[in-house]
Amino acid sequence: MASAVPVSVPEKLVDRHGRAITYLRISVTDRCDLRCRYCMAEQMTFLPRAALLDLEEIALIAERFIARGVTKIRLTGGEPLVRRDMLELVARLGRSLGHGLDELTLTTNGTRLAQHAEALFDAGVRRLNVSMDSRDAATFRHITRHGDIEQVLGGIRAAAEAGLAVKINMVALNGLNDQEIAPMLAWCIDQGHDLTLIETMPLGQIDEDRADRFLPLTRVFDDLRARFDLKFDNRSTGGPARYWRVASTATRLGLISPLTGNFCASCNRVRLSTDGKLHMCLGHDDSVDLRAAIRSGGLAEVDARISEALDLKPAAHDFRIERGAAPAVARHMSVTGG
User: Residue 284 in contact with residue 329, Cβ under 8 Å?
Assistant: yes
Instruction: Give the model's confidence band at 5: pLDDT under 50 very low, under 70 low, under 90 confident, else very high.
Output: very low
User: Residue 5 in contact with residue 299, Cβ under 8 Å?
Assistant: yes
Identify the pLDDT of residue 128: 96
Q: What is the dihedral of CA 116, 191, 199, 267, to 10 degrees?
A: -70
User: Residue 110 in contact with residue 132, Cβ under 8 Å?
Assistant: yes
Annotated binding site for [4Fe-4S] cluster: 32, 36, 39, 264, 267, 281
pTM: 0.87
Give the domain CATH number at 287: 3.20.20.70
Q: Does 253 map to a domain?
A: yes
Identify the pLDDT of residue 2: 47
Which of 97-106, 161-170, 277-286 comes out lowest in average pLDDT? 277-286
Question: Given a cut of 70, is residue 191 above it in pLDDT?
Answer: yes
Q: Does 12 map to a domain?
A: no
Name the average pLDDT for the chain: 87
Q: In DSSP terms, which residues pair with 173 in a beta bridge? A: 214
Which of 28-37, 60-69, 242-251, 275-284 comes out lowest in average pLDDT? 275-284
Would you list the DSSP string of 173-212?
BTTTTGGGHHHHHHHHHHHT-EEEEEE---BS--SS-HHH
Overall domain count for the chain: 1
Q: Does 240 map to a domain?
A: yes
Annotated binding site: 25, 32, 36, 38-39, 74, 78, 107, 131, 167, 201, 264, 267, 269-271, 281
- Label residues 253-274 b or e (16+ Cβ within 10 Å = b): bbbbbbbeeebbeebbbbbbbb
Mean pLDDT across 196-202: 82
Please tell me the distance from the alpha carbon of residue 293 to that of residue 88, in angstroms, as a whole number. Answer: 23
Which of 36-50, 66-80, 88-102 comes out lowest in average pLDDT? 36-50
Q: Does 7 map to a domain?
A: no
Instruction: Give the model's confidence band at 316: pLDDT under 50 very low, under 70 low, under 90 confident, else very high.
Output: low
Mean pLDDT across 133-151: 97
Helix pair 137-144, 149-161: axis angle to 10 deg: 100
Q: Does 286 map to a domain?
A: yes
Question: Given a cut of 60, is residue 25 above it in pLDDT?
Answer: yes
Q: Check residue 163 and report its DSSP letter.
A: T
Question: Given a cut of 70, is residue 99 above it in pLDDT?
Answer: yes
Instruction: Give the model's confidence band at 232: pLDDT under 50 very low, under 70 low, under 90 confident, else very high.
Output: very high
Please tell me the distance from the alpha carbon of residue 207 to that of residue 37, in angstroms, as a whole number. Answer: 7
Which of 34-48, 160-174, 195-209 comes out lowest in average pLDDT? 195-209
Please tell me the distance from the alpha carbon of residue 288 to that of residue 260, in angstroms, as a whole number. Answer: 29
pLDDT higher for 111 or 322?
111
User: Residue 332 in contact with residue 43, Cβ under 8 Å?
Assistant: no
How big is the CA angle at 114 (ends 46 and 30), to the nearest 5 degrees? 10
Q: Does 11 map to a domain?
A: no
The beta-strand segments (E) located in 54-133 are 72-76, 103-108, 127-131
Annotated binding site for S-adenosyl-L-methionine: 38, 78, 131, 201
Query: What residue numbers bound the domain in which 32 lies?
Result: 23-336
Would you list the DSSP string of 266-324?
G--EEEE-TTSEEES-TT---EEEHHHHHHHTHHHHHHHHHHHHHTT--S-------TT
Identify the pLDDT of residue 236: 63
Which of 155-164, 236-245, 259-268 comes out lowest in average pLDDT? 259-268
Annotated binding site for GTP: 25, 74, 107, 167, 269-271
| R_g over Cα of the chain | 19
Q: Does 51 map to a domain?
A: yes
Identify the pLDDT of residue 204: 47
Q: Does 172 map to a domain?
A: yes
Percent of the chain scored above 90 by pLDDT? 66
